[in-house]
Amino acid sequence: MTLETSALLTDFYQLTMLQTYHTEGMEDLAAFELFARRLPPQRGFLIAAGLEQALDYLENLRFAPDELSWLAACGRFSPRFLDFLAEFRFTGTVHALAEGTACFADEPIVRITAPLPQAQLVESRLINLIHYQTLIASKAARCVLAAPDKRLVDFGMRRAHGAEAGLFAARAAYLAGFDGTATVLAGMRFGIPLFGTMAHSLIQAHDREEDAFEHFAAAQPDHVVLLIDTYDTEAAARKLIALAPRLRARGIAIRGVRIDSGDLSEAARRVRAILDRGGLRQATIFVSGDLDETRLQQLLADGAPIDGFGVGTRLDASTDAPILELVYKLQEYAGRPRRKRSQGKATWPGRKQVYRTLAAGGAFAGDYLGLDADSQPGEPLLRPVMIDGRRLSPPEPLTAVRDRVRQQLAALPPALRANRTAPAYPVHIAAELRQLADRLDREPH
Amino acid sequence: MTLETSALLTDFYQLTMLQTYHTEGMEDLAAFELFARRLPPQRGFLIAAGLEQALDYLENLRFAPDELSWLAACGRFSPRFLDFLAEFRFTGTVHALAEGTACFADEPIVRITAPLPQAQLVESRLINLIHYQTLIASKAARCVLAAPDKRLVDFGMRRAHGAEAGLFAARAAYLAGFDGTATVLAGMRFGIPLFGTMAHSLIQAHDREEDAFEHFAAAQPDHVVLLIDTYDTEAAARKLIALAPRLRARGIAIRGVRIDSGDLSEAARRVRAILDRGGLRQATIFVSGDLDETRLQQLLADGAPIDGFGVGTRLDASTDAPILELVYKLQEYAGRPRRKRSQGKATWPGRKQVYRTLAAGGAFAGDYLGLDADSQPGEPLLRPVMIDGRRLSPPEPLTAVRDRVRQQLAALPPALRANRTAPAYPVHIAAELRQLADRLDREPH
């Protein structure tokens, strides 16, 4: 078993609970919903992402022989229960928002309906999978809104939190509208366009900066983008002007430059002037270094002549809001709606549906959170994606998810589209749902 | 190849640079150092971690046949270069701080000395591996300092950024002094003690809360810790008092309770009183929910009768400081020291060593950052751990790393030991190093 597919990538309490359910024969149908309890103050909306990986996980979930042996050796589980785990498969039903759907607090992103032990066990990894990509897609969408006509590339793998975060950040950013990533494995696994040129070390390893430029150009003649801030950015730009005719004679064009430090706006302006005066009008300027949507907006508002941005650490770790309060809660068991009432953490009970109403022109006009069995105004957004443990359709191409995100972003209220702080988008709790919650609160436990 | 071991888990520019080095025959020895450019304002020290995983990566690094085919198909690399990648192995030397060593800005945590292409290629994943565990060990150490005599358990896998983060957070927290984790796979892979009891869903799935308690106790008779805040915390505590004699008759003791919501200090006090009055003096109180070192300090300063803490999201995503500015910089190539001079990102050139001086009693009295070839006051902390691509010794047991962290924390200056904001710990730049940097700055590039 690999790390990502291990059934033991879960919390220990899932197994102790499962042993209890198994001992008591509690295997009736349970409905759990995964949703954001509230949004971080820095986020007015989320972009749902990670569903494909969650479905992969559910389809392939099983305990490997060495995992079962290890569980047996740890002395906490009965042989009968371990036999049950050996046969464990996920055979449930999944309803979900399509990847790339804009969503808000309280709205289920995924609903699992399955025998209680199955629906329970998957909690930890399911949150883990949906949480991270939704976190990053939501952050990336803000970058896309900040710089809609610029090239945006994910540069963040090195300071993403581990291997999977590095890989999935690339996927989440791409589906949210980024043009590509620097992470090679994301190119191989997901077909995401790859970008990347050189680090400062390539320049430093040469005694003369112009030699580094020339050697790199000769080795990558069709992709000559040169990093010019290792020693003196403007001096390096002038070296390019001197180098360009020599390269041109060999049929090589300088496509662009990258600047990674200093006052990016001022540096871009000065470099643009040098390149333009020196006959390199077509060479683009790409910048990187501690960028996020706020810096992108500032740089563009400032009129900086920048064609593209490498967004790294602040994207892949979503540094301004590094977690979402995603939770996975039991809403129904054995046909009866259930409600957690813990202080500050109460949930809306029952199987629910999200209904989205649209204004003229397709703009989002407000959502209704209602019971699945009732009907509310608007389009229901949760759709079945897995029945009896099997996907209903093959994975959606990322290009289709990108199209959906584009449409969703265009339909957001203007303040959210502008990354401005705004009153929360209206999610109306249906009267029937409030009544159900009130009724459950009056029942004894 | 699994995700974690894939040679393609790197940045695309590593490959374009490698092609340049290969084309130009630049294969002389390079020395790169991995260090924190500066510390986040919320961190006065770091605990180095992740070295074992980094060494695993270096020992096993190779391109798989399907990865090579994919690279060939992407059309950016020459057949000769792909042949070179097919034979690629890491044959270099690694110097490093022992895992669990306290360290500070500018101090190399790892130094790689290898032929330039090898030392270059590993940059992205090496930072990724050392960054995350160092981030989490540093955060976890602050929790340990805040609650030195309490049980501390990592609960954060679900909102860690992906699978590997969930697994490695458990390791990093444990080596920093946590008692264990909820993440089962960390128990299997690293032998870390596992903790965990039940979620609210187990309570909710039962019609009566006391039935849930009794069923759980029957299924885990030796580990009865019960979650009591699903509906009404004090009412649940009173139910336990009623239940205890029935369980006792079956030979089952209630070991403790967990509270996960509300005013934890007040709730713990009230529950403690109920348990004590009801004859459950020996039952411990464990709390969880949005905890970090600041909350731990507050709760304990407040005199809350709490025996242990589950620290989750805020640990595994290090939410107050979700990234460290770890970088990996070329400091020497072909026997010549190198210096990046980019505005705000200049580096200290040459192969360096960290020397730590101690006051009477072993307290840290200040570090010197000097050239490896020179000597400075204090003990040199970077030691060779890999030569010619092979580890010098088997992985250090985590218990030994835990002992080291304990000693390191005890030797920190009092303000750092108290998690107080304090002037930066003194890291003196040796005069010889400053002179070398000045000399390099005067050279043309």
Q: Residue A151 forms beta bridges with which residues? A: A308
Q: Residue A367 forms beta bridges with which residues? A: A356, A427
Contact assignment for B184 to A11 by CB distance below 8 Å: yes
List of chain A residues with pLDDT < 50: none
The predicted structure's pLDDT at residue A343? 84
Chain B from 295 to 334: CB within 8 A of any A CB = 313, 317-319, 322-324, 326, 329-330, 333-334
The predicted structure's pLDDT at residue B342? 85
What b-and-e string marks burial along B253-267, b requiring 16 or more CB atoms within 10 Å of the CB? Answer: ebbbbbbbbbebbeb
B158 in reach of chain A (CB within 8 A): yes
The predicted structure's pLDDT at residue B58? 98
Q: Are strands B326-333 and B336-337 parallel, antiparallel or unpaired?
A: antiparallel
What would the CATH number be for the domain defined by B3-136+322-442? 3.20.140.10
The candidate with the shortest Cα–Cα distance to B188, out of A78, A79, A163, A6, is A6
Contact assignment for A200 to B341 by CB distance below 8 Å: no
**Quick one: tokens of A410?**
């265009």
Q: Measured between CA atoms, how close is B272 to chain A, in angstroms?
A: 19
The ipTM, to two decimals, is 0.97
A218 in reach of chain B (CB within 8 A): yes
Q: Residue B386 forms beta bridges with which residues? A: B94, B391
The predicted structure's pLDDT at residue A340? 85
Q: What is the mean pLDDT of chain B?
A: 97
The predicted structure's pLDDT at residue A346? 86
Contact assignment for B24 to A219 by CB distance below 8 Å: yes
Contact assignment for A13 to B198 by CB distance below 8 Å: yes
What would the CATH number be for the domain defined by A3-136+321-442? 3.20.140.10
Domain borders along chain A are 3-136+321-442, 147-316
Q: Measured between CA atoms, how close is B337 to chain A, in angstroms?
A: 9
Contact assignment for A188 to B128 by CB distance below 8 Å: no
A277 in reach of chain B (CB within 8 A): no
Taking CA atoms, what residue in B is nearest to A124?
Answer: B158
Specify the CATH class of B147-316 in words.
Answer: alpha beta
Angle between helix axes B163-175 and B123-146 (nearest 10 degrees) is: 50
At B358, phi and psi to the nearest 5?
-120, 145
Q: Measured between CA atoms, how close is B156 to chain A, in angstroms?
A: 9
The predicted structure's pLDDT at residue B23? 95
Compare CB distances from B261 to A185, A326, A343 and report the shortest one's residue: A343
Q: Measured between CA atoms, how close is A13 to chain B, in angstroms?
A: 4
List of chain B residues with pLDDT < 70: none
Distance CA A16, CA A35 (A): 24
The predicted structure's pLDDT at residue A94? 98
Amino acid at A292: D
For residues B419 and B297, the answer to whether their CB atoms sit within 8 Å is yes
Q: What is the mean pLDDT of chain A?
A: 97
The candidate with the shortest Cα–Cα distance to A411, out of A365, A346, A350, is A365
Contact assignment for A127 to B159 by CB distance below 8 Å: yes
> DSSP H helical segments within B147-288, as ranges?
163-175, 184-190, 200-205, 209-219, 233-249, 264-277
Taking CA atoms, what residue in B is nearest to A332?
Answer: B205
Query: Which residues, 6 or more positions from B182, have their beta carbon under 8 angstroms from its beta carbon?
Result: A11, A12, A13, B153, B154, B155, B157, B194, B195, B196, B310
Distance CA A263, CA A261 (A): 7
Distance CA A415, CA B143 (A): 39
Taking CA atoms, what residue in A is nearest to B183?
Answer: A11
Distance CA A17, CA A118 (A): 11
